[in-house]
Amino acid sequence: MLTVLGAYSWVNIRFLLEGAWVTILVSVCSIVLSYIFGVILGIVRYVKIKYLSAIVGFIIDIIRNLPLILIIFFTYFGLPHLGFKPDPIWASVIAMAVFEAAMVAEIVRAGIASIPVGQMEGARANGLSYWQALRYIVLPQAIRNMIPAIVSQFISLVKDTSLATIIVLPDLMNHAQIIYGQNTNYTIPMFLALAVMYFIVCYSLSLFSKYLERRIGGGNKKAKADEVVESANDA
């Protein structure tokens, strides 16, 4: 009992929270960058731009089939040979953003492809250009359908930040290792603390995903209801 209480002393908890802050920082930066580039790459792959779409698809397939830890090693140990030496935090952000962008791109491509062709044809018939129809009609519907898959991928990203401990990223996992490295009796308590903290962050993302689905779904239902009312009034 005393061992457990000692493991959860304020000094250790504060040290863990410092690591948690780095984990959240790396996760947020990686999520933002991977979402932006993932959407762009997914669209490029879907629209079949001559040569470019094939090249992008080939690169995405390569990245998706590489282990994340290998990409982390390359960004931290390989980039310095190319004249760019990122610190562990930015090396982790770059590696995870690249890896997750490839994953998101494939989700986006599949999401757009899942929208019925009639949506694009109807938009074009009403005078919209291909890109306008894609931007205003097809893409919003696709993103709505992709929310669960994208959020699930981002939850995996948060958990994968622990892999960056291998390049001494001062994240939650790294700080926990330092604590139980000084006292092996703290090993199990630290694992429990890690489980709780990762659960809080990941479960919060899950709740946010459900909120977005309800919000967007509710908005769609309201729009459909308005259309029905309009039609009734016109009649």
How many structural domains is the chain composed of? 1
Q: For the segment 196-209, what is each residue's pLDDT rounded down to a tens digit?
A: 999 998 998 888 88
Our CA dihedral for 56, 62, 64, 70, rounded to 10 degrees, sits at -130
In whole angstroms, how large is the CA radius of gyration of the chain?
23
Please state, in angstroms and rounded to a whole number, the distance separating the CA atoms of residues 98 and 102. Answer: 6
Please state, in angstroms and rounded to a whole number, the distance separating the CA atoms of residues 102 and 160. Answer: 15
Please state, in angstroms and rounded to a whole number, the distance separating the CA atoms of residues 199 and 196. Answer: 5
Please tell me the predicted confidence (pLDDT) of residue 211.
83
Please tell me the predicted confidence (pLDDT) of residue 2.
55
Residue 213 has pLDDT above 90, yes or no: no
pLDDT mean over 205-225: 66
Name the average pLDDT for the chain. Answer: 85
- Residue 94 C-beta-side C-alpha neighbours within 13 Å: 18
Cα–Cα distance list, 123 to 31, 117, 141, 170, 234 (Å): 31, 10, 13, 50, 23
pLDDT mean over 57-85: 92
Please tell me the predicted confidence (pLDDT) of residue 228.
32
Q: For the segment 153-210, what is each residue's pLDDT rounded down to a tens digit?
A: 999 999 999 899 888 888 899 999 999 888 888 889 999 999 999 999 899 888 888 8
Please tell me the predicted confidence (pLDDT) of residue 28.
93
Listed residue (72, 27, 22) closest to 173, CA to CA: 22
Q: Which residue has the higher pLDDT, 168 or 219?
A: 168
User: How many other C-beta atoms lie within 10 A of the C-beta of residue 151?
Assistant: 20
- Cβ pair 211, 148 in contact under 8 A: no
Answer left, alpha or beta for residue 202, where phi above 0 means left and psi between -120 and 50 means alpha: alpha
The whole domain housing 35 covers: 2-234
Q: For the segment 7-45, what is each residue's pLDDT rounded down to a tens digit?
A: 888 899 999 999 999 999 999 999 999 999 999 999 999
Confidence of residue 217 (pLDDT cuts 50, 70, 90): low
Q: Which residue has the higher pLDDT, 92 or 123?
A: 92
Please tell me the predicted confidence (pLDDT) of residue 214.
77
Element at 25 (helix H, strand E) = helix 10-47
Confidence of residue 123 (pLDDT cuts 50, 70, 90): confident
Look up the CATH number of the domain holding residue 145: 1.10.3720.10
pLDDT mean over 39-66: 92
Confidence of residue 230 (pLDDT cuts 50, 70, 90): very low
Which residues are CB-contacts of 102 (< 8 A; sequence separation ≥ 6)?
38, 41, 59, 60, 63, 64
